[in-house]
Structure 1
Amino acid sequence: MGQKGAETRDRLLDATQDLVETGGYAGAGLNQVIALSGAPRGSLYFHFPGGKDQLVGESVRRAGRTIGDALAGLADAGPSVAEFVDGVLRLLGDRLEESGWRRGCPVATVALETAATSDPLQEACSEVYTAWEEALRARLDGHPDADDLAVTILALVEGALLLARAHRNREPLNRVARQIATLLS
């Protein structure tokens, strides 16, 4: 694929990610994706012959990698596990607040809306969550309950993001950070 094709594909994915994160799967209609990306309709079907589910699935994976890269950057900074999780919550809280409380987790809305009805989207969401669990588990290396703690921390983070978005307030993130620090001590 040439540079122009790659740029068009990236614009389609950027538009999809924006629409999915702010309006969910239902809010990311193909006409909206085309309008927001400025890409020709034919490009959408050329790059994503599997249609909307392929487009949204790739968008979810891409957003998951972006967050995963941010997690890796925080982990490389070498803080304690509690400080690492606090940094994750700050990062996601900043992202949420800066978006006017519209961008929580880039995976959760799609998982809630489609995991029971679309195998490709369920798989995309599962892959991202598995990668994030593995990143947490690696950070908990040596802890006897690393597997359980990784899932627990991810669930607490996801729940805190949902509550923060619903309340338009960072307090749920702050409370969860304190509880995770207690859990890990």
Structure 2
Amino acid sequence: MGAKGEETRARLVRATRVLIEAQGYAGTGLNQILAESGAPRGSLYFHFPAGKDQLVGQALAEAGREVGVLIDSMCGGELTAVEVVRGLLDLFGERMEQSGYSQGCPLATVALEVAAGNEGLRRICADAYGGWQRALADRLAHEGRDRPAAEAAAEAALALIEGALLLARVQRSRTPLDRAARTAELLLH
């Protein structure tokens, strides 16, 4: 595939990421993705012959990897687990505020919507969340927790982040994120 084809594919994925995060899977149609991306209809099925599920799966996988790289880099440095969680809450919160509270976690909207009915997309979300959780657990283990305790604390921290993002989006307020940052201190120390 040439450079033009790669750019078209990337535009389709980018548009899908933005739309599904704000509107969910069911609320985002292929015509809207095409309009937002500026891609011709034929290119959608050329790049994603299986259609919407394949395109959304690619968008979710890329978003999951991006956040995973961020978490890995934060956890691999000198930051404590508390600082990592605070940093993630701050980054997601900035993103949320800049989008008028239409965006937060790039997976959550679709994950909640498809978990019971679309095994392929559920699996992509589960894999991404699992990677994020492992990175936090590794950081906590590095700080001296035994592995089972590190894994439990990482799962609780991820639930704290996701719950705070959901509440912040619904309330259109950073307050749940700020409270979650303070709670992370209690949870992870």
Post-superposition offset of 1:168? 0.8
Structure 1 vs Structure 2: percent identity of aligned residues?
Answer: 53
Distance in 1, Cα, partners of 2:130 & 2:76: 20
Gaps spanning 5+ residues in structure 1: where? none
Distance in 1, Cα, partners of 2:11 & 2:54: 15
Task: Please list, as runs of the form range in 1=range in 2, the aligned pairs for 1:35-114 lying within 5 A after superposition.
Answer: 35-114=35-114
Q: Find the counterpart in structure 2 of residue 150 from structure 1.
A: 154
CA-to-aligned-CA distance 1:64-101 (integer Å, 9 cap, x gap):
11212222332344122111111111111111111111
The two structures have a TM-score, normalised by structure 1, of: 0.95
The two structures have a TM-score, normalised by structure 2, of: 0.94
The residue identity in structure 2 corresponding to 1:107 is: L
Distance in 2, Cα, partners of 1:50 & 1:115: 20
Distance in 2, Cα, partners of 1:4 & 1:140: 44
Superposed CA RMSD in Å reads 1.2
Distance in 2, Cα, partners of 1:90 & 1:38: 32
Secondary structure (helix, strand or coil) at the match of 2:50 reads: coil
The residue identity in structure 1 corresponding to 2:162 is: E
CA-to-aligned-CA distance 1:127-184 (integer Å, 9 cap, x gap):
1111111111121123120111111110110000000111111111111111111122
Contact 2:76 2:139 in 1 (8 A): no
Gaps spanning 5+ residues in structure 2: where? none
Distance in 2, Cα, partners of 1:115 & 1:47: 25
Q: Find the counterpart in structure 1 of residue 122 from structure 2.
A: 122
Contact 1:157 1:176 in 2 (8 A): yes
The residue identity in structure 2 corresponding to 1:43 is: S
Post-superposition offset of 1:119? 1.2
